[in-house]
Structure 1
Amino acid sequence: MGKKLYVGNLSFTVSSDRLTEMFSEIGTVDSVNIITDRDTGRSKGFAFVEMSSDSEAQSVIEKLNGMDCEGRAMNISEAKPQEPRSGGGFRRNTSSWGSNRR
């Protein structure tokens, strides 16, 4: 199973193809996921890259961490597991919905 990496401090214009190209020089890239703002679709400046093996992921960290990518020095580290979210997002006050008061 592959190792997921966190890639931070990315230029807002970097593409998943560009990241795939860079990381593929070191090993096999299983997936690239650039995180975008849900409302604007604009990059948030970080991504997750999954490499096919732990050793390839470690090589990527050693060779590319701090490297310039489109004018910014990338921060690359092992991704931490996502913590479970509590509650839920936005809740609308529905107390008056559907009422026929006038």
Structure 2
Amino acid sequence: MNLFVTNISRTVSEEALKALFSEFGQVSSVKIISDKHTGESKGFGFVDMANDSQAFHAIERLMNAEFFGKRLMVSKARPKTSSY
């Protein structure tokens, strides 16, 4: 299941985010979105977890959890829609 994570501190690395979510199960991938011009984190990203029940548990436990001084917002990612 792909999770959408917002309010990520700009100092958080993908490795740190992966370690946090790995406490709840197998993490397939992590991607923190960065500005294409500056390379700076935009403060949101995606975590892909292999097991849906573990992903739901991570959502439940990490929603509003403090991480690097900010309260995370975690939800199931919505499918990308076309913009035409």
- The TM-score range, normalised by the shorter chain, is over 0.9
Alignment map for 1:1-102 (pairs within 5 Å): 3-86=1-84
Greater strand percent: which structure? 2
TM-score by length of 2: 0.97
Paired residues in the alignment total 84
Q: Which 5+ residue runs of structure 2 have no aligned equivalent?
A: none
Greater helix percent: which structure? 2
CA distance in 2, matches of 1:85, 1:44: 21
Instruction: Tell me the alpha carbon deviations over residues 47-67 of structure 1, each in whole angstroms, 9 at most, x when there is no partner.
Output: 100000110110000111110
How far residue 85 of structure 1 moved from its aligned partner, in angstroms, is 2.8
CA distance in 1, matches of 2:82, 2:29: 22
TM-score by length of 1: 0.80
**Percent of matched pairs sharing the same residue:** 44
Greater relative contact order, per chain length (Cα 8 Å cut-off, separation 6+)? 2
Larger radius of gyration: 1
Structure 1: which amino acid aligns with 2:17? Answer: L
Q: Which 5+ residue runs of structure 1 have no aligned equivalent?
A: 87-102
The two structures, once aligned, show a CA RMSD in angstroms of: 0.7
